[in-house]
């Protein structure tokens, strides 16, 4: 079983959300449906643009905390390295 660090976006270079989950497909579906309301629903942050798998939850959480301290342009650069067109990668995980 893997653990995922993921980035959701409202669109290309739009509002970003960084999270960790053990069930990426379920979590992305929750973001898309707006099930939890809050930040991601308010800003329509529903496009999976980056995901990285870890074997240990502790490693995923450390990476998440580190990334949340990054400057915005670093996060955008990370996404654009693997997903230059800001495609919704959700179909790869659903």
Write down the pLDDT at residue 16: 98
Domains in the chain, ordered, with CATH?
3-93 (3.40.1440)
Q: Exposure of 17 by Cβ count < 10 A (0-12 exposed, 13-18 middle, 19+ buried)?
A: middle
DSSP state of 15: -
Write down the pLDDT at residue 89: 97
The tens-digit pLDDT sequence of the chain (94 residues) is 799 999 999 999 999 999 999 999 999 999 999 888 889 999 999 999 999 999 999 999 999 999 999 999 999 999 999 999 999 999 887 6
Q: How far is 78 from 94, CA to CA, in rounded Å? A: 22
State how far the alpha carbon of 57 is from the alpha carbons of 1, 2, 21, 67, 88, in Å: 10, 8, 8, 15, 24
């Amino acid at each position: 079983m893997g653990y995922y660090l993921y980035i959701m976006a409202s669109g290309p270079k739009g509002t970003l959300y960084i999270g960790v989950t053990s069930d990426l497909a379920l979590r992305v579906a929750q973001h898309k449906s707006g099930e939890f309301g809050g930040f991601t629903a308010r800003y329509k942050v529903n496009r999976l643009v980056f995901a990285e798998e870890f074997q240990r939850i502790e490693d995923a959480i450390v990476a998440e905390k580190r990334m949340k301290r990054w400057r915005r342009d670093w996060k955008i650069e990370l996404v654009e390295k693997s997903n230059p067109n800001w495609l919704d990668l959700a179909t790869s995980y659903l």
